[in-house]
Every structure is written in structure tokens, then in C-alpha cells.
């Protein structure tokens, strides 16, 4: 039934899709959805019961513009919210993994559209019109729309924000998880159109940038930063900012410029220039969007940041940008941090991140370690004095404990989780990562789910989710995590390649892992990477002799303090050399117990059954940790090692 060719309304369930006025009418009146969402719903309902591929939807609804699948995913989530649907228990829109969507309810054509004038008048006020130009508003104000709908039990909410030290944080996720208080909006950001600054531009790049940024700020994610898509200034009770920019062509490159500006003064808080090849233009909008969303949420999502003096806010934005989100100019980030704490001495986040820099400096300077750690603790305690519920500072306090104080570290991370939620769920990520790397894999899952709910813009969350799914053998979920990681490029370097290599190895995707090494100029020249390649080849089609030779090559390439890697441990065990895997972990334990414990997390019960496993687990503090908290998951397996009887 080709409903897109008719002006008749489409009825399904308690809803009517009215193409004449482009509106969705529910049992209580109009249900606000954006133009893209209306068109997607129209396409899906036209093919009721049949698969509609992602490619077809992107081509029809976005008219061939260069956007990533995340823009479509965001729109489908918008529709599910409007219809009261969920991905897990679909009544309207069913996901067909990796391919597209299927519309489930019966559909009929009708000439009867419900009378809705009174409800429509109310809808114009509450649904998100800008009141002046009629432009669509895709994120709701804190007093209506999205925030008032948070009471629905099926609602998935999450925040997304980062700090330069990589400390960011969390809200709630699935039905069966504990609820998290809603975060009060602290800043409103208006997203304007981007301009074409040269005549010869690839088709669709300019409008796609705004679509992609809007998708990165999806309404599914709870945040202190409210995004509004509009070209005209909006009335707001919060500090206002806007994101704008343009793209020009320069030879074989596209040059995209993005700016975050103060709404009142028009002063530029942050700007960045992205250089991207023209022949890969389709990837530029997503790259710009991820970088912008990370930067804006880092800059404005920290408690109190939006109200900082302009000079201090500009310096804080530079910390976010140069401290690892987009660039890795840590010297500049440190100078800007010192400027932040001078200009805004009451801004707790500044002192916390400054303490993080001191901690990093301590590990780089062993001779000054104790003094630098003491200074880092002093700075973090200053932050907690200013803001006792600061989740970032509470989380950093766990990092500043003795690495071998495992029970104390877990308790401190849990304090951060219980505190006022941050805007990106990193306390949940930290707890999930800690539990996973210390044997409590199933317990880690719910915290990692909360962390991935904060994105799709935080690589670390999807990296740890990938580790979890690989350990559990969830191949489809691993594929989804890898796909997300592939999209998370910000600066000029692909910072996710190493994470994807580790996940692929752990999941047994050896051909994919080999391709990742072959595609990296840096990796191709490293002896250890070449040894891994030999291991992958032996696992795919080698004889037992080939596997033994590959294992020996990995052992030889892994000699020395700077060459240890968990990938070597995983491959050695799978190549039939568990003794060599355990010996490699033991060799690094003398210099880094944390790195050794990580290696222990990725071995199987075959290695745990070796005589040397229990003494090493005791030396690393794992046995006493499990005795004081909970036994590791592998103790519930049928072939559990003898050690489990002593826990």
C-alpha cells in the first residue's frame, strides 16, 4: 500500500498520520514529531510488515544527503518516544539488526481526521515551535516536552559530557535499573544553519552537519545542556549560547569551521577548523558533530561552567578541546587550566582536572611520585570542599588511592555513582570497568549499559561494552559496539583503532583484527604488531606447528617493559600456550600490578587451572578482594579452578 502517494490519512492503533497537514494525531490530540520523523513514519507505515532498509530510509527522507546512520537512529528513537514504544518490546517499530526497520501494526487509509483544534492550540505552545518563524525545535525546554515525559517508566535517559581528564558521567538506563534524578538544565545551546563558503561543495554536506549535531544531542540523553535547532535567538531562563560555522572547499580538501558563541555578547568561546578530504565528504558531518557535541557538553555540562566569566569559560573550553577530546596538546591544556583556577577559584571542576594532571605527571616522574600525588590529592580535596557532591572529584579520589587498595577503590567509585549525576555517566563507566577487570563481569553489565546510554559519543564506554560482549560471546552486540567506535573520530587521529583491535581479538574476529593492523602505518612497522599478525593467521588457517611458532614469536616480541599488551596474553592462550600467557602477566606484575590484573581478566579457566595462577592472583590482591566482596563469575562455571573453593 503506497501511502506516500496519497493524501489520505493513515490510521494505525490509536493514531492517525495526517499527510495533508503533516501531523501525527494520538488519542489525546496532536503528538509533536519533527519533519524527518514524520517522513520516516510515513515510509515505514507504507510498507507495513515489510523490511524497510536503513539505506532506503536515508535515501528517501534525507534526499541523498550525506548523513550517518546515527541521524536515522535518532529519528527512530524520537518516533518510539512519541508512540510510547520501546526497542525491546516493540509494538510499532521493530528493529531488524543491521538492516533496517519493520512497521508492525495494521494500517488502513481513512478520510476521517479527528477534530483537534483545541488540542492543537495547546500543542503549538508546548511542542517546540520557536513562536516566530515556525522552525522546528528538536530538544525541549526543561519545563516541558522532554523533561516532563521523563516520568514514563520506559524512558531511556542519559547525559553526555566529558572533561579533559576523561572524567565524565551518568544517569539511568533500562527498566530494571535504579532511577537517577533528572539533571537541571544549566545552559541552552542554539544550533544554527552552517553556511557554504565556496561554490563547489559536495551535495548534502552543509545540511547534514546540522542533522548530525542534532543526532549527537539526541533527546534520549539527559544533559544539563538543552539543544535547540533554530536560526533565531530563543527566550531562555538559562545562559544562552549558539553553535554555528561554515564549510569551504580548498583544493582536494574540505575546511569546516565550527564556533561556540555567547548568545548575548556574540563572543567566541571556542572554535576549531577541521580539514577533511573531499573524496570522503560523507564522513565529515559525523566527525564535526561528534567533536562539537563532546566539546559543548564538556564546556557547559560541568556544574557551574555555564555561569563562569567569559574569559574563564573560554579557557575551560580550551582545556576540553586540547586535553584529549579533539587535540592532545596537554601543555596548552595545563596552562589554560591554571588560567581557569585563577579566574574562577570557586569552580570545583577546574581544581579536580588540575589534580588529574598532577597525577599524570606523577606517573611520568617516578622520582617525584610521592610529592606529586600529595599535590594531586590536595587539589582534589579543594574541589570537594567547594562541591562535596561533585562526581568527578569523587571519582578522581578513587584514582588517587593506592592502586592495590581494591576494596577501597570500589567503595570510592560507588560514592561517585551515588552522588549528583554528572552529564556523561563516567562514574558508571568507571564502576563497570572496575568490576569487569576484576572478574565480576555480569555485575559490570548494568553499569556499562548506563555508560553507553550517555553516548553515542564516548569511545571508552563502547570499548568496555565491546570487551563485555566479547567475553560473553555476544557477536551481534560486539558488531554494534565496533560500528559505533568506528564513527567516533574527532581529531585527525583515529583514536579508536587500538580499542577496536583489542575487541576484535577478544571476540575471535581475527581477520578483522589483521585488517586493522594492515591499515595502520604505525602498527605495520612494529615487531609486536607483526607477531600478532602471525598469530591471527595461525588461528585462521594454521597448523599446530604454525601456532606454536606464532606463539614463540609473540613471546619474543613482548620482551621488555614497554611492549606488554593484553592482546599478547589473549593470543598466547588461544595459540595453545597458556603457560606463556601467565608468564607474560607475571613479568609485568613486578612493575605494574594494575596492568597485570587487566591481563588476568582476559584469560580463560584453562589458564586459571595452571599451578602458577593462584599464587599470582594472591600477589595481585585479587583473592583477598574477592573474599571481602564477591567471588568472580568464573567460579560459577562448571570447570571452575580449584582456587574458587578457597574464596
Beta pairing partners, 227:
189
Assess whether 222 and 93 both reside in one domain: no
Assess whether 233 and 311 both reside in one domain: yes
Residue 199 has pLDDT above 50, yes or no: yes
pLDDT of residue 144: 27
pLDDT of residue 175: 26
Run of H or E residues at 62: none
Average pLDDT over residues 62-66: 72
**3-class secondary structure, 292:** helix
Assess whether 83 and 209 both reside in one domain: no
Question: What does the pLDDT look like over 431-479, one tens digit per residue?
Answer: 999 999 999 999 999 999 888 876 556 788 899 999 999 999 999 899 8
Number of structural domains found in the chain:
3
C-alpha cell at 85: 514504544
pTM of model > 0.75 = no
Range of the domain at 548: 515-647
Assess whether 194 and 299 both reside in one domain: yes
pLDDT of residue 508: 96
Which of 127, 144, 177 delimits the end of a domain? 127
pLDDT of residue 491: 60
C-alpha cell at 393: 572529584
Assess whether 248 and 114 both reside in one domain: no
Whether 187 contacts 224, CB under 8 Å: yes
On whether residue 288 sits in a domain, the answer given is yes
pLDDT of residue 152: 25
Band (156; pLDDT cuts 50, 70, 90): very low
pLDDT of residue 489: 67
CB burial readout 533-542, b (16+ within 10 A) else e: bbbbbbbeeb
Assess whether 259 and 350 both reside in one domain: yes
Whether 439 contacts 410, CB under 8 Å: no
On whether residue 105 sits in a domain, the answer given is yes
Higher pLDDT, 395 or 137: 395
Query: What number of other Cβ atoms are within 10 A of residue 475's Cβ?
Result: 13
CA distance 64 to 623: 57
CB burial readout 57-83, b (16+ within 10 A) else e: bbebbbeebbbbbbbbbbbbbbbbbbb
**3-class secondary structure, 456:** coil
Dihedral sign for Cα atoms in the order 404, 410, 412, 416: positive
- In order, the DSSP letters of 495-524 are TTHHHHHHHHHHTT-HHHHHHHHHT-HHHH
C-alpha cell at 601: 581478566
> What mean pLDDT is reported for the chain?
83
Taking every pair of C-alpha atoms in the chain, what is the biggest distance, in angstroms? Answer: 81
On whether residue 477 sits in a domain, the answer given is no
Dihedral sign for Cα atoms in the order 632, 634, 635, 636: positive
Band (6; pLDDT cuts 50, 70, 90): low
Beta pairing partners, 26:
29
Would you tell me the crossing angle of helices 566-574 and 544-557 to the nearest 10 degrees? Answer: 160
C-alpha cell at 129: 515551535
User: Alpha carbon of 555 to those of 180, 544, 550, 577, 602: distances in Å?
Assistant: 47, 17, 9, 10, 17
CA distance 314 to 32: 36
Assess whether 290 and 365 both reside in one domain: yes
Q: Which of 81, 79, 82 is nearest to 103 (CA)?
A: 79
Residue 334 has pLDDT above 80, yes or no: yes
DSSP H stretches of helix in 115-189:
117-126
Average pLDDT over residues 285-300: 90
Whether 528 contacts 565, CB under 8 Å: yes
Assess whether 204 and 123 both reside in one domain: no
pLDDT of residue 587: 93
Assess whether 374 and 270 both reside in one domain: yes
Assess whether 215 and 364 both reside in one domain: yes
User: Alpha carbon of 99 to those of 87, 102, 238, 452: distances in Å?
Assistant: 15, 10, 41, 21
Average pLDDT over residues 45-65: 85
Whether 265 contacts 310, CB under 8 Å: yes
On whether residue 504 sits in a domain, the answer given is no
- Tell me, what CATH number does 102's domain have? 1.10.10.10
Q: 45-49, 159-163, 198-202, 273-277 — which is least confidently predicted? A: 159-163
On whether residue 177 sits in a domain, the answer given is no
How buried is residue 257: exposed, middle or buried, by Cβ count under 10 Å (0-12/13-18/19+)? Answer: middle
Which of 364, 399, 426 delimits the end of a domain? 426
On whether residue 588 sits in a domain, the answer given is yes
Assess whether 121 and 8 both reside in one domain: yes
On whether residue 437 sits in a domain, the answer given is no
Assess whether 211 and 358 both reside in one domain: yes
User: Own/partner pairs for 504-508, CB < 8 Å, 24+ apart?
Assistant: 505/532, 505/536, 505/567, 505/570, 505/571, 506/466, 506/467, 506/470, 506/471, 506/570, 506/602, 507/466, 507/469, 507/470, 507/475, 507/478, 508/470, 508/539, 508/574
On whether residue 179 sits in a domain, the answer given is no
Which of 365, 391, 426 delimits the end of a domain? 426
Q: 69-73, 219-223, 270-274 — which is least confidently predicted? A: 219-223
Whether 447 contacts 457, CB under 8 Å: no
Distance of CA 426 to the CA centre of its chain: 10
Amino acid at each position: 500500500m503506497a501511502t506516500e502517494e496519497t493524501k489520505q490519512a493513515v490510521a494505525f492503533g490509536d493514531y492517525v498520520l495526517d499527510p495533508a497537514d503533516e501531523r501525527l494525531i494520538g488519542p489525546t490530540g496532536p503528538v509533536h514529531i519533527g519533519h524527518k520523523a514524520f517522513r520516516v513514519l510515513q515510509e515505514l507505515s507504507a510498507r507495513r510488515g515489510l523490511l524497510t532498509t536503513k539505506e532506503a530510509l536515508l535515501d528517501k527522507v534525507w534526499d541523498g544527503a550525506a548523513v550517518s546512520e546515527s541521524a536515522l537512529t535518532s529519528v527512530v528513537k524520537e518516533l518510539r518516544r512519541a508512540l510510547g514504544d520501546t526497542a525491546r518490546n516493540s509494538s510499532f517499530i521493530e528493529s531488524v539488526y543491521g538492516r533496517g526497520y519493520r512497521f508492525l501494526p495494521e494500517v488502513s487509509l481513512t478520510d476521517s481526521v479527528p477534530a483537534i483544534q483545541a488540542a492543537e492550540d495547546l500543542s503549538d505552545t508546548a511542542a517546540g515551535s520557536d513562536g516566530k518563524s515556525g522552525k522546528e525545535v528538536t530538544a525541549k525546554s526543561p519545563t516541558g516536552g522532554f523533561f516532563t515525559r521523563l516520568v514514563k517508566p520506559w524512558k531511556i535517559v542519559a547525559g553526555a559530557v566529558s572533561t579533559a581528564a576523561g572524567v565524565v558521567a551518568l544517569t539511568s538506563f533500562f527498566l530494571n535499573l535504579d532511577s537517577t534524578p533528572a539533571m537541571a538544565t544549566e545552559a541552552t545551546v542554539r544550533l544554527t544553519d552552517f553556511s557554504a563558503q565556496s561554490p563547489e561543495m559536495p551535495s548534502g554536506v552543509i545540511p547534514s552537519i546540522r542533522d548530525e549535531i542534532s543526532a549527537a544531542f539526541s533527546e534520549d540523553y539527559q544533559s544539563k545542556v538543552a539543544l535547540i535547532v533554530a536560526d533565531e535567538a530563543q527566550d531562555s531562563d538559562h545562559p544562552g549560547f549558539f553553535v554555528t560555522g561554515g564549510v569551504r572547499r580548498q583544493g582536494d580538501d574540505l575546511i569546516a569551521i565550527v564556533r561556540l558563541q555567547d548568545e548575548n555578547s556574540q563572543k567566541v568561546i571556542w572554535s576549531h577548523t577541521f580539514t577533511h578530504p573531499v573524496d570522503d565528504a560523507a564522513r565529515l558531518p559525523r566527525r564535526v558533530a561528534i567533536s562539537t557535541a563532546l566539546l559543548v557538553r564538556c564546556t557547559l555540562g560541568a556544574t557551574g561552567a555555564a555561569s563562569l566569566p567569559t574569559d574563564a569559560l573560554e579557557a575551560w573550553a580550551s582545556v576540553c578541546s586540547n586535553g584529549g577530546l579533539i587535540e592532545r596538546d596537554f601543555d596548552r591544556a595545563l596552562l589554560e587550566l591554571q588560567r581557569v583556577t585563577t579566574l574562577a577559584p570557586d569552580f570545583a571542576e577546574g581544581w579536580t582536572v588540575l589534580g588529574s594532571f598532577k597525577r599524570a605527571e606523577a606517573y611520568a616522574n617516578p622520582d617525584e611520585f610521592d610529592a606529586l600525588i600529595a599535590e594531586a590529592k590536595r587539589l582534589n580535596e579543594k574541589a570537594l570542599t567547594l562541591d562535596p557532591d561533585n562526581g568527578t572529584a569523587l571519582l578522581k579520589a578513587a584514582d588517587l588511592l593506592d592502586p592495590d587498595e581494591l576494596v577501597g577503590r570500589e567503595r570510592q567509585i560507588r560514592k561517585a555513582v551515588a552522588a549528583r549525576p554528572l552529564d556523561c555517566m563516567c562514574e558508571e563507566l568507571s564502576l563497570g570497568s572496575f568490576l569487569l577487570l576484576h572478574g565480576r563481569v555480569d555485575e559490570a553489565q548494568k553499569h556499562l549499559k548506563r555508560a553507553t546510554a550517555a553516548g553515542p559519543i564516548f569511545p571508552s564506554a563502547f570499548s568496555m561494552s565491546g570487551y563485555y560482549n566479547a567475553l560473553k560471546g555476544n557477536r551481534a552486540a560486539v558488531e554494534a559496539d565496533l560500528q559505533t567506535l568506528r564513527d567516533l573520530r574527532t581529531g585527525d587521529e583515529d583514536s579508536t583503532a587500538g580499542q577496536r583491535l583489542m575487541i576484535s581479538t577478544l571476540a575471535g574476529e581475527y581477520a578483522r583484527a589483521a585488517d586493522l593492523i594492515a591499515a595502520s602505518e604505525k602498527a605495520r612497522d612494529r615487531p609486536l604488531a607483526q607477531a600478532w599478525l602471525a598469530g591471527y593467521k595461525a588461528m585462521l588457517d594454521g597448523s599446530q606447528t604454525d601456532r606454536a611458532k606464532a606463539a614463540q614469536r609473540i613471546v619474543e616480541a613482548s620482551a621488555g617493559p614497554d611492549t606488554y599488551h593484553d592482546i599478547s596474553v589473549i593470543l598466547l592462550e588461544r595459540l595453545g600456550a597458556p603457560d606463556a600467557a601467565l608468564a607474560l602477566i607475571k613479568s609485568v606484575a613486578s612493575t605494574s600490578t594494575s596492568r597485570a590484573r587487566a591481563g588476568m581478566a582476559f584469560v580463560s579457566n584453562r589458564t586459571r587451572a595452571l599451578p602458577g595462577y593462584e599464587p599470582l592472583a594472591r600477589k595481585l590482591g585479587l583473592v583477598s578482594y574477592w573474599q571481602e566482596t564477591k567471588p568472580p563469575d568464573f567460579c560459577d562455571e562448571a570447570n571452575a579452578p580449584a582456587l574458587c573453593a578457597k574464596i
